[in-house]
Structure 1
Amino acid sequence: MRGINKVTLIGNLGKDPEINILDGNVAVAKFSLATSETYRDKAGQAHTSTDWHSVVLWRGLAELAQAYLRKGSLVYLEGKLKTRHYDDAAGQRHYVTEIIGEQLLMLDKKPGEQLSPLAP
């Protein structure tokens, strides 16, 4: 049996995407994505918990991010978790877990556009 590595998030960009062009003219975009959930404690007080996710987009998705995404943009993202490591100058090993985006939908409305209710 094969495993499944799938992540689905809806959240807001924490900053503008950082775009790099690698050898072979391959675009890569990196940005942080915030997801928030609200809950009520026993006293009925609302609390919001925010998690930050590191996202990496490649090629066409990176170019899309460069053209259209900005800090605060609301996006739907599907991808997979990937953990990599690197050694710093002191020889200390560091691990980084990122979401490699595979599908991206921009959920922001266009300027002047009103959100309409879904038709039955």
Structure 2
Amino acid sequence: MTTSTDSEGAPEDILVALADPIRRQILATLVGRGGTTSTSLAAGLPVTRQAVAKHLAVLDRAGLVRAHRTGREVRYEAELRPMKRATRWMDALATQWEHRLRAIKDLTEEAPGP
């Protein structure tokens, strides 16, 4: 269980974590509600508490949730900084592709016709 407030989370870890609709729903619930337990999360989902715990572990590895133990209870909170880093990475990648496609377009338009 990661307790760091700034887990890095590689872009591929974040994309894998967000690929599952249940994990996206868990993250959306945590963003909307704030901190809550896996038992509370499971009450609103079509999966067991054990399945929620496994999904939370994937989100934790990606740095998208933080766990805090309070007595016997573990509360989870959303951590969106890794998602923002992944978004910046995707934006940079999109920009690179736009430049490449523009260069290809320019080359084809400059080529002499048949």
TM-score, structure 1 as length reference? 0.27
Q: Quick check: which one's strand share is greater?
A: 1
**Greater RCO, CA 8 A, separation 6+:** 2
